[in-house]
Amino acid sequence: MNMPDEAWSAYLESTCDEEPALLKKINRDTYLKDTKAHMLSGHFQGRVLSMLSKLVAPKQILEIGTFTGYATLALAEGLKTGGIIHTIDINEELQERVQTYFDASEKQAQIQYHIGDAIDVIPSIVGTFDLVFIDADKKRNKIYYEMVIDRVSSGGLILVDNVLWKGRVLDENPDSQTRQILALNNYLAADQRVDKLILPIRDGLFVLRKK
Model pLDDT, residue 78: 98
Region 131-147: what's the mean pLDDT?
A: 96
168 close to 147: Cβ distance less than 8 angstroms: no
The pTM of the full predicted model, rounded to 2 decimals, is 0.95
Helices and strands counted in the chain (H then E) = 8, 7
* Cα 210 to Cα 130: distance, rounded to the nearest angstrom: 9
Q: Which amino acid is at 136?
A: A
- Give helix 21-33 / helix 95-104 axis angle, nearest 10°: 160
5-210: which CATH topology? Rossmann fold (3.40.50)
Model pLDDT, residue 1: 45
103 close to 136: Cβ distance less than 8 angstroms: no
206 close to 185: Cβ distance less than 8 angstroms: yes
**Residue 69 CB contacts under 8 Å (≥ 6 apart), including other chains:** 26, 87, 98, 101, 102
pLDDT at 171 over 70: yes
Among 80, 71, 68, which residue's Cα sits nearest to residue 49? 71
For 44-101, the pLDDT digits (tens) are 999 999 999 999 999 999 999 999 999 999 999 999 999 999 999 999 999 999 999 9
- Each domain of the chain, given as residue ranges in start order, spans 5-210
Please tell me which of 66-70, 162-166, 172-176 the model is most confident about, judged by mean pLDDT. 66-70
Among 211, 210, 132, 145, which residue's Cα sits nearest to residue 184? 145
pLDDT at 151 over 80: yes
Q: Which amino acid is at 38?
A: H
Model pLDDT, residue 51: 98
Region 119-129: what's the mean pLDDT?
A: 98
What confidence category does residue 9 fall into, taking pLDDT thresholds of 50, 70 and 90?
A: confident
pLDDT at 16 over 50: yes
CB atoms within 10 A of CB 208: 24
Strand, helix or coil for residue 76:
helix
